[in-house]
């Protein structure tokens, strides 16, 4: 077998494996499991970034994805299920998915918390037939440096996103191009 054909077969196998990992992660969890995992993840976020705890008191709701799996080898994907907590009560369940193309290799697990700061942003999430991040409400990804400089007078964006709990080897945790869709999980 020549080198080019072997490389193509290896590449195809790697892509198939990548999507197998993502598909396995996408197995439906129950609403109760999603909520339990989301509350635990939120507590981990508060412990790691106390600024997030202060932000939640000003937010209209928090959409927490406790486990997003991202994997790729040239072609990648990510997926995870989450719950929207409004007034600390579950209001709806959502899935986040994205595909990516380019120089990438690896697999990673991480969490995301999206703090909705106003009624318009929250209404957009509730009423849209899938929200593609990068369109609609403005989203600011908060790293530890940004979080430390946040005050009540600097909170002018629609949604603040906190990535946290990264495990694995893969660069980049971008939200751009991710689609968030309302789901109905099992019991």
What's the pLDDT at 1?
A: 54
CA dihedral angle for residue 95, residue 101, residue 103, residue 104, rounded to 10 degrees: 20
What's the pLDDT at 69?
A: 93
> Is residue 93 packed enough to be buried (19+ CB in 10 Å), middle (13-18) or exposed (0-12)?
buried
What's the pLDDT at 18?
A: 46
What is the distance between the alpha carbons of residues 181 and 124, in angstroms, rounded to a whole number? 12
What is the distance between the alpha carbons of residues 43 and 87, in angstroms, rounded to a whole number? 16
What is the distance between the alpha carbons of residues 127 and 68, in angstroms, rounded to a whole number? 23
Buried-exposed string 26-61: b where 16+ CB fall within 10 A, e elsewhere = beebebeebbebbbebbeebbeebebbeebbeebeb
Domain residue limits at 153: 3-183
What's the pLDDT at 143?
A: 66
In 10 A of CB 74, how many CB atoms?
14
Task: Indicate the helix (H) or strand (E) that contains 106.
Answer: strand 89-116
Rg, Å, the chain Cα set: 17
What's the pLDDT at 136?
A: 59
* Contact of 73 with 31, CB cutoff 8 Å: no
What's the pLDDT at 103?
A: 74
What is the distance between the alpha carbons of residues 171 and 125, in angstroms, rounded to a whole number? 28
CA dihedral angle for residue 154, residue 172, residue 38, residue 162, rounded to 10 degrees: -10
What's the pLDDT at 63?
A: 97
Q: In total, how many domains does the chain have?
A: 1
What is the distance between the alpha carbons of residues 130 and 31, in angstroms, rounded to a whole number? 19
Residue spans of the chain under pLDDT 70: 1-28, 133-138, 143-156, 170-177
Q: Among 113, 111, 121, which residue's Cα sits nearest to residue 84? A: 113
In 10 A of CB 167, how many CB atoms?
10
């Amino acid at each position: 077998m020549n080198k080019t054909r072997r490389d193509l077969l290896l590449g195809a196998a790697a892509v198939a494996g990548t999507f197998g990992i993502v598909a396995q992660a996408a197995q439906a969890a129950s609403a109760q499991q999603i909520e339990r995992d989301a509350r635990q993840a939120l507590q981990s976020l508060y412990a790691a970034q106390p600024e997030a705890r202060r932000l939640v008191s000003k937010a209209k709701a928090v959409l927490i994805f406790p486990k997003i799996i991202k994997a790729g080898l040239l072609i990648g994907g990510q997926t995870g299920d989450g719950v929207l907590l409004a007034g600390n009560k579950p209001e709806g369940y959502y899935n986040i998915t994205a595909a990516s193309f380019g120089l990438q290799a690896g697999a990673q697990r991480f969490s995301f918390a999206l703090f909705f700061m106003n009624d318009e942003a929250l209404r957009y999430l509730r009423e849209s037939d899938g929200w593609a991040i990068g369109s609609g409400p403005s989203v600011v990804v908060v790293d530890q440096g940004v979080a430390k400089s946040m005050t009540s007078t600097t909170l002018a964006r629609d949604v603040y996103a906190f990535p946290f709990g990264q495990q694995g080897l893969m660069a980049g945790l971008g939200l751009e191009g991710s689609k968030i869709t309302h789901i109905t999980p099992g019991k």
